[in-house]
Amino acid sequence: MAKIRESGMPAQELWESFFDAGAILDALGCRALAGDVVELGCGYGTFAIPAARRTSGTMFALDIDPLMVAATAVRAAGEGLTNVSAQQRDFVADGSGRPARSVSCVLLLNILHLEDPLILLREARRVLQPGGTAGVIHWRRDAATPRGPPLEFRPDPEQCRAWAQQAGFARATACELPAAPWHWGLVLGGP
């Protein structure tokens, strides 16, 4: 198992100071979700925990790092959430482990700087139900940011749109991310 390049995590408090997770989930259309949700690369559960509160199904929080999985599980338990399934998984090599067309939402947050982003986008498309969406955010390339992978690894929205189309998504809609000045966002949908 190998981590995605340039994917080390800072301390949780610093990491979470970069985001208003609830506002970002709102912008991505994740207000009231019916069905299961998958996050590829859950980190500390920054987005998985609020997403779990917004879904009627299970929040599958996947990460390759056992420390991140443990942090997410402890956080979910501490908040009394019983619908979080935090799992250690090499989803780049082995996929999400979810059946085809089984989830209503996939979260791809700050993760598409891997060597072959089509792997994750194709997996997201594979597991999405008809009418489901994939939410994408990433560090901007056109502004100084306090963190993030090197600029040469950061995708821009246009590149992600092209990748999404190659992966089988029919639409990629830009969204404004309130309280996230260092990020851009897209909502991907199928036919």
CATH topology of domain 12-189: Rossmann fold (3.40.50)
pLDDT number for residue 5: 45
The pLDDT of residue 2: 56
What's the whole-model pTM score?
0.93
Angstrom CA distances, 85 to 77, 98, 152, 155, stand at: 11, 12, 34, 29
pLDDT value of position 179 = 78
- Distance, CA of 166 to CA of 77 (rounded, Å): 38
Taking 50 as the pLDDT cut, the residues of the chain under it are: 1, 5
CA–CA separation, 123 vs 113, rounded Å?
A: 16
Could you state, in order of their start, the residue ranges of all structural domains in the chain? 12-189
